[in-house]
Amino acid sequence: MTIEGISHIALIVRNLDRATRFFCEGLGAKEVYDNRGAKQHSVAPEKFFTLGDAWIAVLEGEPLPERSYRHLAFKTTSDALPALEQNLRKLGVEIKPPRPRVDGEGESLYFYDFDNHLFELHTGTLEQRLVCYAKSAGAR
């Protein structure tokens, strides 16, 4: 028995239409399913999106009552980051100030959606980060 990876990510949002704009216009996701007006197969009205290789299920309900650092990070490129940031700003998404970084670990853009979920767009890889952290630890 083995785990092959993450199947999907499910998020609760107050408004499916606003979440659709966030994912599709803000991040470039593709909407692949909408159960409104059809037989409901889940616990709530929902939509599915694909973003890269990720399957994101968005269900309508009461979102998180408060914000935290718990977040979901999507991989992107340094070239794509400015356009994605511009798309998100056009939607009125709150962009957070960057956190301190170790040189070489990649760039990040942190932002909240309209339902208190924190997201990150990150340009680095796990392997790059581990190398940078090891170099940083050795420099002490």
Give the domain range for residue 83: 9-138
Q: Please check whether residue 3 lies inside any domain of the structure.
A: no
Q: Within a domain: residue 32?
A: yes
Q: What is the pLDDT of residues 78-101, one digit of tens each?
A: 999 999 999 999 999 999 998 877
Kindly report the pTM of this predicted structure.
Answer: 0.85
Q: Is residue 4 in some structural domain? A: no
Confidence of residue 19 (pLDDT cuts 50, 70, 90): very high
Residue numbers annotated as active site: 46
18 occurs within a structural domain? yes
Cβ density class 45-59: b for 16+ within 10 Å, e for less:
bbbbbeeeeeebbbb
In a domain, 48, yes or no: yes
Query: Tell me, what's the pLDDT at 112?
Result: 96
Query: Mean pLDDT for the chain?
Result: 90
pLDDT at 128 over 90: no
50, two tokens: 């694909």
Please give the tally of structural domains in the chain. 1
1 occurs within a structural domain: no
Sign of the CA dihedral running 99, 105, 111, 116: negative
**CATH code of the domain in which 68 resides:** 3.10.180.10
Q: For residues 96 and 120, what is the distance between their CA atoms, to the nearest angstrom?
A: 10
